[in-house]
A and B are shown apart, each in its own frame.
Chain A
Amino acid sequence: GAGVSQSPSNKVTEKGKDVELRCDPISGHTALYWYRQRLGQGLEFLIYFQGNSAPDKSGLPSDRFSAERTGESVSTLTIQRTQQEDSAVYLCASSLGARPGANVLTFGAGSRLTVL
């Protein structure tokens, strides 16, 4: 597609439920990042996929968070047993090329998650 597409754009869920957020990167972009931004706070790195390499999961805040990516296409971020502190905008970005930092990032519009 022309840009990075994320869905859903908004998700309201009850505490304890699982949620799945989807990111569809720009076609051909081998690098894909997930971030989150809590209200009034800065961007927080979650996980990074680069081609077929093992993902960098160092930013995932707990084992309730996991992400998958099939090849160089869609990625899914799953949050199990959601907590209120998981409420945030979850942003996905992708970039072209295998060299880290070598290319401009393109961000999706984000998925706003509200945990009641």
Chain B
Amino acid sequence: KNEVEQSPQNLTAQEGEFITINCSYSVGISALHWLQQHPGGGIVSLFMLSSGKKKHGRLIATINIQEKHSSLHITASHPRDSAVYICAVRGQKLVFGQGTRLTINP
């Protein structure tokens, strides 16, 4: 079993829909990162969380330390949100989920 599991692996939605991507982990962590990788390959750090909730524009990230679970939400999704979203947890080392490929259709 992977230390970090993301779901779903692939998600296709229509513009405007509310999107949720989930990340579960099995190790003790000091922080969790949500990353965005665009089709060109560039990676951008979206959030770093150690507790609670963070919001940036249409993006919201939450983490429940007791349940070892984090979610990334996108409100009013747009085709430019199409990317791979990656969860990474920092325990002894940084471990990545396999990513969720999100496609938003106009």
Question: Measuring CB to CB, which residues of chain A are less than 8 angstroms from any residue of chain B?
Answer: 33, 35, 37, 41-45, 48, 56, 58-59, 89, 91, 93, 99-107, 109-110
Contact = CB atoms under 8 A, between A and B. Distances in A.
A109 B41 CA distance: 8
Contact of A42 (B30, B90, B93, B97): B97
B93 A99 contact: no
A103 B92 CA distance: 15
B45 A104 contact: yes
Interface residues of B, number: 23
Interface in B45-102: 45, 48, 50, 86, 88, 90, 92-99
A89 B45 CA distance: 18
Contact of A99 (B30, B35, B96, B97): B30
A112 to B, nearest CB: 8
A91 B45 CA distance: 13
A109 B96 CA distance: 18
B29 A42 contact: no
B96 A100 contact: no
11 contacts: A35-B96, A44-B96, A45-B96, A48-B94, A58-B93, A59-B93, A99-B30, A101-B31, A101-B48, A104-B33, A105-B33
A91 B43 contact: yes
A101 B42 contact: no
Contacts of B88: 43
Given A42-B97, A101-B50, 11 more contacts: A43-B86, A43-B99, A48-B93, A58-B92, A58-B93, A89-B41, A101-B48, A104-B33, A107-B43, A107-B44, A107-B45
